[in-house]
Amino acid sequence: MIAAAPLEFGVPFSAARAGARAYGARMNAALLAMPALFRMPEKGTIDPRLTAFLERDAAFDGALWAGVRTTGIYCRPTCTAKKPRPENVVLFDSLDAARRAGFRACLRCHPDEAAEPVPAWARELLASIEREPLRRRTSADLQRLGVEPRRARRWFQARFGVTFAAFARTRRLALAQRVLAQVPRGRSSARVAAVATASGFESESGFRAAFAKLYGAPPKRAAAGAALYVARIATPLGTLVAAATDAAVCFVEFADRRGLAGQVRALRAHFELPIVPGSNARLAELKRELGEYFAGTRRAFDVPVAAPGTPFQRRVWDALRAIPYGETRSYAEIARAAGSPHAIRAAGRANGMNRLAILLPCHRVIGADGALVGYAGGTRRKQWLLEHEQRDARAR
């Protein structure tokens, strides 16, 4: 359990080549750094985010918020209120950005609450990928499922930073990598051809090129390599972005937190692995345990974690794990527990560098005067988490 076992650092994963680093960095920005999904349009063009808001495009719900200058409120794209004039709209890529600009939440659409994570048609589409992950899907296949290809493209682009076709292709390649990893040496050449065909690629050369682009090496050399699987997990406090290898969970953070891109860059610098959308056993375990935590039936997490950091950061994170459920500690107390009583500011910075939100309970650290400060997920979430734990602790 997290409360009993020391963190694992320096987990031995196969390093990807330079090509994988470059490709992985681009995918990191698309999958996890939500601000990168909303680049400003070129001069003279219509901002697609504004169009999405004015047309109530549900594909952007949970990834885009709009402030209205004339009323001082901010809404989600699907808000049913009468839409304002375009010149009165200010667009934001996070809830915190809207709040910092001085806007307050709309009482009609409740933008602070978690959006419906996946609409019914997208759930069915994702389920079909899980049922037949190696199958190549065309626009005709989507239409037979009653899904407009353009709608699927926009929804996957907004949620994952890649089109549906790219999402499905990456899932096929990830599964192909796992299949090839089980092939005995000396028999991989014939197996590569068979896996390429089963994965829906029209040619073996196309499969090899796509595989090398993602993993940075040909199939035979990269087959035993690892990958970071990334998934979104819906919670009562909003969507979490989580990443895990087959060995451990290494990233859990709210999708709208500031500095998410920097956290991802640090993660990439350590693991040097390609990122693929989807799930694995560790992410499934994490999702189950988070559900139990929010339901009030779990106080500590059992899922293995990997948290690379400096020796001082690791001592601070160990101190976080030692805070009992339902209790809090000040930054000065954390610094003392880490063996550096005068490094209070450094302890605060290490607390902020925690990449395992909720699992390593940095929300249990408060100011010396009891103020709820220093939580990247926002004070509203911090207060909710503390009240949730304290209420549950009193009830037992």
CATH code, domain with 82: 3.40.10.10
The enclosing domain of 274 has a CATH number of 3.30.160
How many domains are there within the chain?
A: 4
> CA-to-CA distance for 393 and 396, rounded, in angstroms?
6
Are both 131 and 211 inside the same structural domain? Answer: yes
Neighbours of 123 (CB within 10 A): 12
Q: pLDDT for 294-344, tens place per residue?
A: 988 999 999 999 988 899 999 999 999 999 999 999 999 999 999 999 999
pLDDT confidence bin for 213, thresholds 50/70/90: low
Q: What is the mean pLDDT of the chain?
A: 76
Q: Considering only CA atoms, which of 278, 297, 281, 279 is closest in space to residue 289?
A: 297
> CA-to-CA distance for 227 and 266, rounded, in angstroms?
16
> CA-to-CA distance for 374 and 366, rounded, in angstroms?
8
344 lies in some domain: yes
Are both 333 and 380 inside the same structural domain? Answer: yes
What is the reported pLDDT for 257? 67
13 lies in some domain: no
More confident residue, 72 or 125: 72
Are both 274 and 345 inside the same structural domain? Answer: no
Are both 288 and 377 inside the same structural domain? Answer: no
Are both 215 and 138 inside the same structural domain? Answer: yes
Give the domain-ending residue among 260, 294, 328. Answer: 294
User: Would you state the structure tokens that stand for residue 379, as one six-digit string?
Assistant: 């004070």
Are both 211 and 138 inside the same structural domain? Answer: yes
**pLDDT at 4 > cutoff 50:** no
Are both 281 and 317 inside the same structural domain? Answer: no
More confident residue, 209 or 40: 209
Are both 338 and 385 inside the same structural domain? Answer: yes
Active-site positions read: 362
Give the domain-ending residue among 222, 243, 267. Answer: 222
Give the domain-ending residue among 201, 222, 243. Answer: 222
Q: Is beta strand 73-75 parallel, antiparallel or unpaired with respect to 65-68? A: antiparallel
Are both 123 and 193 inside the same structural domain? Answer: yes
The enclosing domain of 365 has a CATH number of 1.10.10.10
What is the reported pLDDT for 8? 38
Are both 99 and 134 inside the same structural domain? Answer: no
Neighbours of 46 (CB within 10 A): 9
**pLDDT at 25 > cutoff 50:** no
Are both 252 and 233 inside the same structural domain? Answer: yes
pLDDT confidence bin for 39, thresholds 50/70/90: very low
What is the reported pLDDT for 362? 93
Are both 133 and 41 inside the same structural domain? Answer: no
The enclosing domain of 209 has a CATH number of 1.10.10.60
387 lies in some domain: yes
- Which helix (H) or strand (E) segment holds residue 282: the answer is helix 281-294
> CA-to-CA distance for 6 and 318, rounded, in angstroms?
8
What is the reported pLDDT for 357? 93
**pLDDT at 38 > cutoff 50:** no
**In terms of residue numbers, what domain contains 202?**
118-222
Alpha helices, H only, the chain: 18-31, 48-54, 95-100, 120-131, 139-144, 149-160, 164-181, 188-198, 204-215, 219-222, 260-271, 281-294, 311-321, 331-337, 344-352, 379-395
**pLDDT at 395 > cutoff 80:** no
